Chain A
Amino acid sequence: MKKIITLKIDDKEVKTEEGMTLLEAAKKAGVEIPTLCYHEGLEPYGACRICSVEIEKRGRSRIVAACCYPVEEGLNVRTRSPKIDKIRKTIIELAYVMAGEDVGGNMRALASEYNADPSRFRLRVPMEPTKCILCGLCVRRCVEANWDSAIGFTGRGINRRVVLFPEKSGICSRCNYCYLVCPTGRISSIGPDPPFPYIDDVLAGRK
């Protein structure tokens, strides 16, 4: 039997089990926290930071990613505040730089909810839109479904991209999971052509 932990989320008292994350606890309490790189059943990844929430502990407050932070006794969690909203707005606006304005899915819904201006930073740093925010859900989901991943990351920093590894393309079982988890609608269909650029193309700067 796991230890029961009591904490407050947006002034609501919530009883959870030890080892749960703040995100899971909030869900249980009916409080919604936005996510982009999170998926139930996959290991928390902590890359999009959109689930940032304010926590207060012994009089000191800080901002943490709800998808990774474990519940603690007596914690006071605030999921919305002017500060949090501003941070989420900025994150979305930053994510648009790479993704481009033509994105769908969860990303678009969040942009309107947080009043984000998709072109705020994008116009400053013009680049070929990738429709991808590198949340890694497709990569992680593929490992889960196929015990290996046909897709993966290449490059570092601003050159990071998700690509299909040609030598591993045989792994692709057309399971469509990557399509289902994509928060930006980048992976629009799984047809005979793989939806990801080939690594050779990326390295040669063709895609």
Chain B
Amino acid sequence: MGTVECISSPEDLKKLRQEIRAKREPSKPSVSVCVSTGCVALGARRVMEAFKAELNKQGLKDEVEIKETGCLGFCEQGPRVTVYPQEICYLKVKPEDVPEIVSKTILEKQVVERLLYTDYTTGETAQKLEDIPFYKYQLRLLLEDNAKIDPKNIEDYIALGGYSALAKSLFEMTPEHVIEQIKKANLRGRGGGGFPTGLKWETTRNALGEPKYVIVNCDQGDPGAFMDRSLMEGNPHSVLEGLIIGGYAIGAHEGFVYVREEYPIAVESISTAIRQAEEYGLLGENIMGSGFNFRVKVHRGAGAFVSGESSALMTAIEGKVGEPRPKYVHTAVKGIWDKPSCLNNDKTWATVPLIILRGAEWFRNIGTEGSSGTMIFSLVGKVNNTGLVEVPMGITLRDLIYKIGGGIRGGKKFKAVQTGGPSGGFIPEEHLDLPVDFDELTKVGSMMGSGGMVVIDEDTCMVDVARYFVDFLLEESCGKCIPCREGLRVLSRILNDICEGKGRDEDMQTTEDIAETMREVSLCALGTTATNPVLTSLKYFRDEWEQHIGEKRCQAKVCKALINYYIDPQKCQACLLCLRECPVGAVQGGKEQVHWIDQETCVKCGTCYELCNFDAVKKLSGEPIPPSPPKGTKPIRKRKRGN
């Protein structure tokens, strides 16, 4: 980048954009490979290498461009490769597929059918991304550009209009005007709190004390959620541009990007973006000749869930242990080193340039009355299509799960969906038509959180899953305040007891007592929201709690202590498979003898259940185990094996 002249006016930026665009030929074939965490884990780097080698071999090195891009969200189908100009999207690409893609698609302009997305129900294929049902119902404002941008190349972002919102803010708008636009747009905090962003900015701007700080929160630590990191990995400049605009509006000259150390690609992406923006004169002293100075530092978080909480995050930036502190005086007024500090999630910051460019009215028209714009969800669990989903606020849970998610895996029955990460509540079927926005989710005992969405089917035990999340939060609690630390300790014991068949009659009442105290008086949101999974499980699935405690029965047959494995003598073919594989030798019987399980020895590992080809192994819960067949019972032969 050494040849770049510093951009010193909005005209320079426009000129540079024209130059970049002029250099590019839209008709030139190019290949883009996703190199985000998911695709890389599935082998995208090797696919990349294979393309380089194959293009070299075929002498096409200069004719075909290869580009590394960010995440498009459909990670389970990775590695993803898109071939331009046809925009053909290939999924689950392996290095062996590369020669065929090069010779067939790039040279002969034909499609490699087997690498296209195939709908598992209709069998139809889709060539373009937007034809895949997973994408058809999405509205991708923030994630759209991930496919077009090499996150390590600022020119890609500039070519798409990047940094023009910054130019507009600095040269055509006053700071007050910028805040006014954000307020008019009704942008609310994407980290999950849903606090009006414009109001927060104004509070920090008007607060006494200098210097002021602006901070990006990219500490995402929810199990199964990856939207914040994907945005940071795939389009770091959008976050950075939003942050600089925020700094200008608020009157801050220093910003922090708090990003998890465990997200190495995100750390690298944003660090590169900052360096490049500085080289181009879009960050640092006298940005674009406007006289506005702004610096950004990356703070790598050590990976504590609680550090995503604003006051804990700021304490961590100060160099102390990331523990929350009382926030009755908002961090917007008294934050890092007690100075006014405005913290927003990376998705919130990345939305800012869009609002500045396209206007508050445009943004307000997307979504619902109370919650404007789009939200990125990490749709995971027992749905057919898992991944990152960006949708307008107000979409129903049913559309999200069935239209985009493609319904429940394996034709199973839906049981609940947990929104908002580990401290979100479980929402049952009766609320599936709920429009998803900040206020509606809270009404049913859950929350938006930062956009986690875990779909749960009938094979999941609702007591066990509440136990899982309580144990997660117990691990992550900082231990500072009594209700959260001790409340979670006792709740964890109670839930583990119930799952182990040691539940007591008073346990549901005790759980409610503790949860109420935690929710009312815990020091930070980790403690107050930790009760959501417990209370919604208790509220909507009370029958399962009662069965566990009263009848010692787990209807989903998940809780080990409450189930027994049993071999149906009518079905067993005495194939010896389970008998040989049982790790503790609990399966009895022998060749030509129906097998049975010695319950005393059985450790309930489920190996026999998984292995049986004849559906003879059953899980029983809360019912008597039929007696074992007499020794030497011959199997009732089926005509054909395996049916």
Contacts and interface: CB of A to CB of B under 8 A. Distances in A.
B325 interface: yes
A90 interface: yes
8 contacts: A49-B523, A87-B521, A91-B482, A124-B497, A136-B480, A157-B474, A157-B476, A157-B479
Given A52-B521, A94-B490, A68 B326 contact: yes
Given A94-B482, A97-B489, A156-B479, 4 more contacts: A50-B482, A69-B326, A134-B479, A157-B479
Interface stretch (B235-243, B389-397, B512-520): B512-520
A63 B479 contact: no
B482 A48 contact: yes
Contacts of B485: 134, 157-158, 160
Contacts of B522: 49
A100 interface: no
B329 A70 contact: yes
Residue of B480, B488, B513 with highest tally of chain A CB at under 10 A: B480
A47 interface: yes
Interface in A118-171: 121, 124-125, 133-134, 136, 153, 155-160
Given A68-B326, A87-B517, A157-B476, A95 B523 contact: no
A44 interface: yes
B478 interface: yes
The 3 closest A-B pairs by CB, nearest first: A160-B479, A94-B486, A68-B326
A153 B485 CA distance: 14
Nearest to A49: B521
A97 B481 contact: no
A93 B517 CA distance: 11
A155 B483 CA distance: 18
B52 interface: no
B514 A49 contact: no
A26 interface: no
A37 to B, nearest CB: 9
Interface of A: 44, 46-50, 52, 63-65, 68-70, 86-87, 90-91, 94-95, 97-98, 121, 124-125, 133-134, 136, 153, 155-160
Interface in B465-482: 474-482
Contacts of A44: 326
Contacts of B494: 124
Nearest to A19: B329
Interface of B: 304, 321, 325-326, 328-329, 474-483, 485-490, 493-494, 497, 513-514, 516-517, 520-523
B305 to A, nearest CB: 10
Nearest to A96: B486
Nearest to B519: A63
Contact of A95 (B478, B486, B514, B521): B486
Nearest to B322: A156
Nearest to A91: B482
B482 A49 contact: yes
Contacts, number: 102
Contacts of A63: 520-521
Nearest to B478: A156
**B interface, over-half SS:** helix
A47 B523 contact: yes
Nearest to B324: A46
B495 to A, nearest CB: 12
A158 B483 contact: no
A97 B490 contact: yes
Contacts of B482: 47-50, 91, 94-95, 133-134
Nearest to A50: B482
Given A46-B326, A95-B482, A124-B490, A158 B521 contact: no
A131 B514 CA distance: 22
Nearest to B476: A157
A47 B480 contact: yes
A46 B523 contact: yes
Contacts of A158: 474, 477, 479, 485, 488-489
Contacts of A87: 516-517, 520-521
Nearest to B494: A124
Contact of B328 (A50, A52, A70, A153): A70
Given A48-B481, A90-B513, A160-B479, A97 B521 contact: no
A157 B490 contact: no
Nearest to B513: A90
A71 to B, nearest CB: 11
Given A63-B521, A65-B521, A157-B475, A91 B489 contact: no
A69 B328 contact: yes
Given A46-B523, A63-B520, A98 B486 contact: yes
B514 A94 contact: yes
A15 B494 CA distance: 46
A91 B521 contact: yes
Contacts of A155: 479
B501 to A, nearest CB: 16
Contacts of A133: 482
Nearest to B325: A46
Contacts of B329: 70
Contacts of A124: 490, 493-494, 497
Given A46-B325, A70-B328, A125 B483 contact: no
Contact of B477 (A69, A86, A157): A157
A125 B490 CA distance: 7
Contacts of B477: 156-158
Nearest to A136: B480
Contacts of A153: 321
Residue of B485, B489, B490 with highest tally of chain A CB at under 10 A: B485
A91 B474 CA distance: 17
A178 B522 CA distance: 26
A107 to B, nearest CB: 11
A160 B479 CA distance: 6
B230 to A, nearest CB: 28
B481 A46 contact: yes
A185 to B, nearest CB: 17
Contacts of A160: 478-480, 485
